[in-house]
Amino acid sequence: MDATNGLQTPQLTFEEEVKAFFDSAPPLQNCAEISEKLKEFIARNSQHSDGNAKRVVCVTSGGTTAPLEQRCVRYVDNFSSGHRGATSTEYFLKAGYAVIFLYRRGSFQPFCRSLPDDPLLECFESNDDSNIRVREVHAEAVKRAIIEHEAAVADGLLLKLPYRTIFEYLQMLQMTAMSMRCLGPRGMFYLSAAVSDYYVPWKDMVEHKIQSGSHLLDVKLVQVPKMLLVLGEEWAPSAFCISFKLETDSNILLKKADKALRKYKMHAVVANELSTRKEEVVVVTSSEKITVRRNTSQPGDDVENPLIKLLSGRHLAYIEESSSIR
């Protein structure tokens, strides 16, 4: 597939690109419902029953798809299992945050990481009376998943919003950010989703399934505007923003993370290399590069454990600093 197709496209300013993206996106199916859920969640956690206003983090997780047909059969996908986002959500909840988990349908979910791939069929069995029970070998993991998930939902601390396409993702990120604006510096964005870099604008997309048969598939893909800048400057200007940088070549990783930090005015960029991403990451800020490693002497520890502790501490300092300025 050719990203430019050799065609001359008119040069748009960044603002025009952003506008063109949202103008051309198919409207969200359940926009009113999502908006209501966000409003309720943020109001509840601004005045939580434990008496404290919570810190609220939006964790984005999984990869977006860029459809090739309006009645989509084929799409360009992004690599991400959602493990990072789901695991981080668990540690954010432990750190006392309320979490808006914006996730790709079908990707890893918080508290379910230690369950087998097909939890329904592998965790349960029927006995002689045809009653269903949990298999002994998975009993502990199932119990833990259910109790911890129920506690987070019952306390009103976890809101899960699913997306699939780049259109859904960016519209939902925008809605979430605008709703979180009232939180000021107590709001945080932890952008671990792998977001499409190219897409086919809805108006240029064929309606029906592209027919096979021709030797070359000629599709024109347009660059998705990086919304990080808009997020930090317009949608939620006081929020604490963390983005991610993924590379497969460790020689360019830190340089690219540093560049992203400055270009998109993030408070920190988490740099990770594909093959070692579950073992270590580097948190890049304007003054430091901090390597964070999983504690290998503690069985079952995750790199997200020290990572979220570090970011939560930085976020607290940011809130204090912001209130002393006002």
CA 250 to chain centre: 23
Footprint of ligand PMT on 257-296 (CB under 6 A): 272, 277
Nearer to ligand PMT, 45 or 174 (CB): 174
Does residue 191 belong to the site contacting ligand PMT (CB under 6 A)? yes
Nearer to ligand PMT, 194 or 205 (CB): 194
Q: Tell me whether residue 45 or residue 231 sits nearer to ligand PMT (CB atom).
A: 231
Min CB(235)–ligand PMT separation in Å:
12
From edge to edge, which strands make up the β-sheet containing 280-284?
Answer: 158-163, 98-104, 56-61, 187-191, 240-247, 268-273, 280-284, 289-293
The least CB distance from residue 149 to ligand PMT, in Å, is: 19
CA 280 to chain centre: 19
* Tokens 């939890």 sit on residue: 119
Residue numbers 195-254 binding ligand PMT by CB under 6 A: 195, 197, 224, 226-228, 243-246
Query: What's the min distance (Å) between Cβ of 203 and ligand PMT?
Result: 19
Name the DSSP class of 102: E
3-class state of residue 212 by DSSP? coil
Q: Does 66 bind ligand PMT (CB under 6 A)?
A: no
Distance CA 312, CA 71 (A): 42
Structure tokens at 66: 């860029």
Tokens 């045809």 belong to 130
Closest distance of CB 257 from ligand PMT, Å = 9
Sign of CA dihedral 35, 170, 55, 156: positive
Per rule CB under 6 A, count of chain residues that contact ligand PMT: 21
Q: Which of 59/224 has CB closer to ligand PMT? A: 224
**Which parts of this chain interact with ligand PMT (CB under 6 A)?**
80-84, 191-195, 197, 224, 226-228, 243-246, 272, 277
